[in-house]
Amino acid sequence: MALVVQKYGGSSLGTAERVLAVARRIVATRVAGNDVVVVASAMGDTTDELLDLAARVSRSPGPARELDMLLTSGERISNALLAIALTDLGHPACSLSGWQAGVFTSPDHGRAQIVDVLPTRVRQELDQGRIVMVAGFQGLSKDTDDVTTLGRGGSDTTAVALAGALRADVCEIYTDVDGVCTADPRIVPTARLLERIDYEDMLELAANGAKVLMPRSVEYARRHGVVIHVRSSFTDDPGTLVTTREETRMEKSTVTAIAHDRTSALLTITGVPDHPARIAQVFRVLADAEIDIDMPTRSRTGDLSFTVSRALAPTAAAVLRASDLRFETLTVDQTIGKISIVGAALRAAPGVAATLWETFAALEIDITTLSTSELRISTLCAEDDLDRAVRALHEVFELGGAGQATVYAGSGRGW
């Protein structure tokens, strides 16, 4: 008997009918002779709706502890509903909150890290022959004895961490697209479903805009050797296996996939004194405000530019202006897009950067910044140019194919 951990995203659980459809899928896995542990996200847009409710009763964002108490209720609803549906279908099931399932985290509300998983209760319930539902995205801090959340999209990480702790045979992540594709099928109709992808490529894609998996969950899976199987909850199609490089070698071409991202803003500061210590101060001010930067570039003329998350751009600009740093101007561009070409063989393929540049040149698209790593080349361009650039690159690198991907719920999660 295998042990399967299944995770269902909010878009797979949008309505009572969808909850029932998911319950039937869980039953099918159970009837096939498996032990099943399920991690479900909150139904549909519940998490956003709960945040809206909080905003209607308070002008400030509210105490982080209480926000976490509020948000964790979303996952408890969907998991309890699934357990009710499963019981009605004749399969004993038991839903557990994150802390009942032994998910322990750091004390940081809203962005807690899983530090330990002790799934004693989960095992007990499995031994009793029950299907176990675990509320995703949440845990308990042993330091504060308070309930925490793992950050948006955190149920992926809950599922992978549980799969690791339980030594499950596979962690199936169900979503509203067929699996991991060569580009976002919403903007590239010829995007092809990947049968397999290695952890490294997947991590680069997830960290650079492909929303199909949360980056932290991929990192966790890689460290703990958890095989992830990304599948659609709307079909029985085979989906994508995320696993080690050895096992994916079969499919290796130079470029694996293209990710894009519309969640960054570009900050440009002019007149920063030309000394490493001055530049360090800029980044220190931002780090103290807990703002991550990416794609930094420095020009000879004293301009410094870098990206931050769009949501944090106003705060970033405010803390820089309020600091005692010396500079001339500070501009914030909220309309940039980022394109990342990902592939394990990129470094050994000298033509990629040239092809990239030629493609942008042919489209008359201006690239502002470029950064490269062993596995990725990222560029910034105007957000309006993003879609046609991704489509063109997808074609130039011949990533399309026969098996085209479908988007089901259109929730905006998917890729």
Give the DSSP per-residue string, 254-287: S--EEEEE--EEEEEE----SSHHHHHHHHHHHH
- Interface with ligand ASP (CB under 6 A), residue from 12, 34, 95, 155: 155
Q: How far is the CB of 323 from ligand ASP (least distance, A)?
A: 32
Q: Please state, in angstroms and rounded to a whole number, the distance separating the CA atoms of residues 178 and 405.
A: 6
Q: How far is the CB of 159 from ligand ASP (least distance, A)?
A: 9
Contact between 47 and ligand ASP by CB under 6 A: the answer reads: yes
- Interface with ligand ASP (CB under 6 A), residue from 4, 6, 10, 291: 10
Give 136 or 215: the residue with its C-beta nearer to ligand ASP: 136
- Interface with ligand ASP (CB under 6 A), residue from 6, 12, 34, 41: 41
Residue 137 interacting partner from Mg ion, ligand ASP, none (CB closer than 5 to 8 Å by kind) = ligand ASP
Contact between 10 and Mg ion by CB under 5 A: the answer reads: yes
Q: How many residues bind ligand ASP (CB under 6 A)?
A: 12
Q: In the range 11-40, which residues lie near ligand ASP by CB under 6 A? A: none
Give 41 or 248: the residue with its C-beta nearer to Mg ion: 41
Give the three-state DSSP class for 372.
Answer: strand
CA 31 to chain centre: 31
In eight-state DSSP terms, residue 112 is P
Q: In the range 19-58, which residues lie near Mg ion by CB under 5 A? A: 41, 47
- Interface with ligand ASP (CB under 6 A), residue from 154, 215, 239, 337: 154
Contact between 217 and Mg ion by CB under 5 A: the answer reads: no
Give 42 or 86: the residue with its C-beta nearer to ligand ASP: 42
Give 36 or 42: the residue with its C-beta nearer to ligand ASP: 42
Question: Which ranges in 114-225 belong to alpha helices (H)?
Answer: 120-127, 155-165, 199-207, 215-224
Enter the tokens of residue 14. 């949008």
Q: Give long-range contacts, CB 8 A cutoff, 24+ apart: 127-131.
A: 128/92, 129/92, 130/92, 130/93, 130/94, 131/26, 131/30, 131/36, 131/37, 131/38, 131/83, 131/86, 131/91, 131/92, 131/93, 131/94
Would you say 195 and 251 are in contact if contact means Cβ atoms under 8 Å apart?
yes
Contact between 74 and ligand ASP by CB under 6 A: the answer reads: yes
Contact between 136 and ligand ASP by CB under 6 A: the answer reads: yes
**What residues contact residue 306 under an 8 Å CB cut-off, 6+ apart?**
266, 267, 293, 294, 295, 296, 297
Residue 119 interacting partner from Mg ion, ligand ASP, none (CB closer than 5 to 8 Å by kind) = none
Q: Phi and psi of 336, rounded to 5°?
A: -100, 155
Give 6 or 41: the residue with its C-beta nearer to ligand ASP: 41
Q: Could you list the residues that contact ligand ASP (CB under 6 A)?
A: 9-10, 41-42, 47, 74, 136-137, 152-155
